[in-house]
Amino acid sequence: MLFRFALAAALCAVTPALADTKAYSVTELVITNQDGFTQDFGPKVSAVIEKCGGRFIAATNTVLAVKGEAPKARIVIVEYPSLKAAQACYGSEAYKALLPLRDKVATGPTYLVEGNAD
């Protein structure tokens, strides 16, 4: 809970100087309907993300814990040109239209994380 609050606070404190730094979405995805995910949601959400300028960095079940327990979920990391672009993508009508389908095939949170300035 504290992590989510801190993440939200950090996202709200974006400064204009960092507006052009890359950003990442990190999703802990528990797939509950593999066929529905693979055949329906996956291709549709991938198209929306790519249209927004997102690029898949990782989508894997192989997560090794360095400290603590590794999540049991699939981890999906997408890179965006900026935090503003990532927020626009997840706030878009195209993405919102897919949420009922996502809820039928998978669960899990998604976080937006701002990258470091170059």
Domain positions in the chain are: 20-114
**Whole-number pLDDT of residue 19:** 59
Instruction: Name the H helices within 29-98.
Output: 34-36, 42-51, 83-91, 93-96
Report the percent of the chain where pLDDT is more than 90: 80
The CA radius of gyration of the chain, in Å to the nearest whole number, is 15
Q: What is the pTM of this model?
A: 0.81
CA angle 33, 38, 42 (to 5 degrees): 105
Q: CA 63 to CA 57: how far, in whole Å?
A: 14
Q: What is the pLDDT of residues 6-60, one digit of tens each?
A: 444 444 444 444 457 999 999 999 999 999 999 999 999 999 999 999 999 999 9
Tell me the HSE value of 79 on the side-chain side, using a 13 A CA sphere: 10
**Whole-number pLDDT of residue 118:** 73
Rounded to the nearest integer, the mean pLDDT of the chain is: 88
Give the domain 20-114 fold.
Answer: Alpha-Beta Plaits (3.30.70)
Long-range CB contacts for residues 6-12, cutoff 8 Å, separation at least 24: 7/111, 7/113, 10/114, 11/83, 11/112, 11/114
